[in-house]
Amino acid sequence: TYAHTASYDGAIADWLSAREESTDDGLGPTLHLALRRGERLRYGENPHQAAALYLDPRAGKG
């Protein structure tokens, strides 16, 4: 439920920001992403660091 609420709040913030700070290029000042961890990776940039691949659940495969 917290993730759903955060996603909803982000969508509202994006909409309000776009109205308040509209630019000629049509790009908003912020971008809110709700990604899910797809899989853990063996290591990060360095072997002692943890890493994971995060995916957008709304994106299609391909």
pLDDT of residue 19: 67
Q: What are phi and psi of 48, to 5 degrees?
A: -85, 0
CB 35 within 8 A of CB 3: no
What pTM did the predictor assign?
Answer: 0.54
Over the stretch 25-34, which tens digit does the pLDDT of each residue have? 767 667 778 8
Average pLDDT score over the chain: 81
**Tokens linked to 61:** 């495969």
> How many Cβ atoms sit within 10 Å of the Cβ of residue 17?
15
What is the pLDDT at residue 53? Answer: 95
Q: Which two tokens stand for residue 52?
A: 């994971």
CA dihedral 36, 38, 44, 48 (to 10 degrees): 100
Identify the bridge partners of residue 55 per DSSP, sorted by sequence position. 36
Q: Tens-of-pLDDT digits for all 62 residues of the chain? A: 787 888 888 888 877 776 665 566 767 667 778 889 999 999 989 999 999 999 988 887 76
